[in-house]
Structures are given as structure tokens and as C-alpha cells.
Structure 1
Amino acid sequence: MRKIFFLVIVLFAMQHLSAQKFVLMKDTERIESKDSCVYRVEGYDQLISKEKFRHHIVIRSRSLESAWLDWLSWSVLPREIRPFIKKCEPGLARPMFGPRRLFNTYRGLMLEFVLDGHGNIITVFFYVSKEIRDKITEKHLKKMYNAIMKHKMPLPVVEKILASNKEFYKWDDLSPDSTRIRCQVDIGEQIEFFEELKNFDWQELKEIYKEREKKWKEYQEKKWKALKEREGCTN
């Protein structure tokens, strides 16, 4: 039944892709800021929201799991709007998925991806700062959206995301058909970093993120070891 429902969604999207219209969501419970404009494809995301799935996975931007989506977001970003994003101040509140608040702000422009468990991109939401709303037009959104929808997340990346979450949450019944994946990519926060990369491809970005995570784990291990040693001295 779910496969049939997803097929209906895909056919709906294909029929409306050329005539898509981005609507401004003025009221949404998931965004906490009055300073953001949230754009979604009319009709498409409302249909998606009616889906019922057992497992929803949220992957963090600027992580090894999100490297491909970070790369894709930057690759489709029109050059003419980059200067406007760079002028924005960070600190706009982003919507939360549950109580965790690891990275709860964004700068200028943020893309929210919704994927199925096979790596197909279902839709993309755009969060735009009100201060540059007149600079990022529907034409820009359509250009980015159409370019994004031509891609599919590489299978090894999807499999790693599913495997790590299955192990962490003890989801024995997790499968591609039972899963939806979401990720929010903060373009503005990384724009200067992306501009400095010489050969921008996602494999390069993956290696950079891998090195970052390695250093972070080493730091955490040293911190934990020092804490245990201090506790040992006080006992």
C-alpha cells in the first residue's frame, strides 16, 4: 500500500514539476521565528505530510552523513544570490524535530530535504531570511528545486544512514520502505567555507567532514579521560 501511495506522489510530482508554484507558508508550528519566510511547493508537500511512517530519521548538517546533501545544496545555489546571503547575520531560529537543539539557528538561507529510505528526494523546503526575501525570487527557488530533483542520494550513503540509526535506536524493523529522512542544510553558515574549497565535489567534502569527526572524537576522548582521572584523584 505504501509503495502505491509513493507511486501516486511521484506521478503527481512529475505532472506538476513544470508548473510548480512555491507558496509562502505564513503560519507553521514548526518554525519559531517571525523573521523567516518558508517556501514550499504547492500541493506536493501537503500530500507528503499525510504519509504515516514508522521511522523518521533526522541527520545533522555539517556531519559525515550530510556531506552529500551539503554538496548538492551548494552546487545548485545561484551565484547571483550568494552575496546577499553573506550579508545576513546568523541567528534565525529554525524548526526543531523533537526536544534536541544541537544547531538551532541558521543564516540567510536554509534548505530542508525530505527523502525516502531509498535515497529519492521527495521534496525540498526553503527557509529565507525576510531581509533578503526580495533578492531570492521564485525563479531562483524553481532553479534550485529543479536541479535538486534530478539527483538521488548515493546508495552507500543511504545504507550507512539506515544502518547507524538502526543500531543506535535498536530499530529491528527499520527498512527503506518504512523510513523517511530529513536534513536541514544551513547554506549561509558554511558559505565562506564552501567558497574556499578548490575542487568542490562531495567526496572532498566527505573527507573534510571525516577528519573533523575524527578530531572531535579525539577531543571528547581526551576530555573524558581527564575527567575520569580527576575523579580518581578525589576518591
Structure 2
Amino acid sequence: MQRKVLIVEDERTIAESVAARLRAEGFAVELAHDGPAGVAAAEAGDPDLVVLDIMLPGYDGLEVCRRIQARRPVPVLMLTARADENDLLVGLAVGADDYLTKPFSIRELAARVHALLRRADRAATAEAATPERIVVGDLEIDPVRRRVRRAGTEPHLTPIEFELLTKLARRPDAVFSREELVSQVWGWEGPPRTVDSHVKALRRKLGADLIRTVHGVGYALEAK
């Protein structure tokens, strides 16, 4: 079945170039050129992936990402002209799975889209193969329904947050390096700081004591 990609980008030349490349690779592509239109298109079209510019009229990309993820978890590749690392980490924290800084290669963007969709497919396959709940102390993870509960609370997690937490929870107390997590959860080699942003988000949603930092190495989920 043809996969659907929504591109939310106000620079029409960039949007059309990206759309042409993705259509050539077999994707069904829809375009939106401002924040409200992007949110509406995501709600109406249920895309398999969103390519999202951070600087948009109406709502900025961060707000669009929040609204899209609140309705339905979907992989998001964020485009940004900002080089500041804090801005990039904020984008990842609100639910983006990956980012590219402008100017970027259209070929690289297409490769990232394929990688994100492969990761989503692998996650779905793994959940189907191991449908049983994961319980670590007061943390419960339901892989089939993609729901997480801790101490009576059930926060909304983005797709990448869910997969990162599940990866850690399958081997509680085992220490994973940042590089290992990027490779195994994201499915490619990327900046290790990407992991830090998502760990911060998980701590904010589930408690600061859940994931332990192993300085100079990486992270482990505490088995209590």
C-alpha cells in the first residue's frame, strides 16, 4: 500500500522539490504551507510521516508537532534553518523523531524518510511478536495498545519516546550507550545528544527517578 507523507513547508520551492522527490520514490504526498493548514491536513489525511518546517506562519512547527502528536502518534522529520542546538533539542522534545538543518540534500531527506518508516515498521513487528505487557516495578508498558502507565498515571508519549522507553524496559538495569540507543531505536547513526532530549522528556512525564544516567556511558532504566 502506498505510504502517505505530509509536507508542511511555507517555502514553496522547497516544498515542491521535496514533494517531487518523494513522489518519484513512490509516496503519496500532500502539501500544506502554514501551521493551521498542516494540523488540518494531518487530521484529515492520517499521514504515515510528516516533514515539518519549524518556521511557519500561523502556528510554528513546534506547535504543529504538539497538536499532531496529541491526536495520533506519527513519525515527524523536522526541517530547521536554526543551527542552535537548544532549538533542535526543543523540536525533538515535542515529538519530532529526527531533524535536518537547511540547506539540506533532497537525497538525504529521502533517505531519512525511508529510515523513519523502516524504524516504525520494525517497532510494529516487534510489538506484534512480543505482545505481552512489560512490568518493571510500578511501570507498565502495553506494546499492542502502545500505552504506558506508572503509579496510576498514563501520560501521552510520542512514538520515539515510547520506543526508547520500551528498549530500556526490556532489559532493566542494563546500561545502553547513547550511540547504541541511536542506532537501535532510531535505526541510523545520528547525534548522541538526540537521546538526551528524549530522556529528559520521559523523566518529565514519568518521573525523574525512572531512568538513571551512567556518566560517560549512557542510560539505564531503574528496576525497583
Normalised TM-score (structure 1): 0.29
Of structures 1 and 2, the one scoring higher in RCO (CA 8 A, sep 6+) is: 1
User: Which structure has the bigger radius of gyration?
Assistant: 1
Question: TM-score, normalized by length of structure 2?
Answer: 0.30
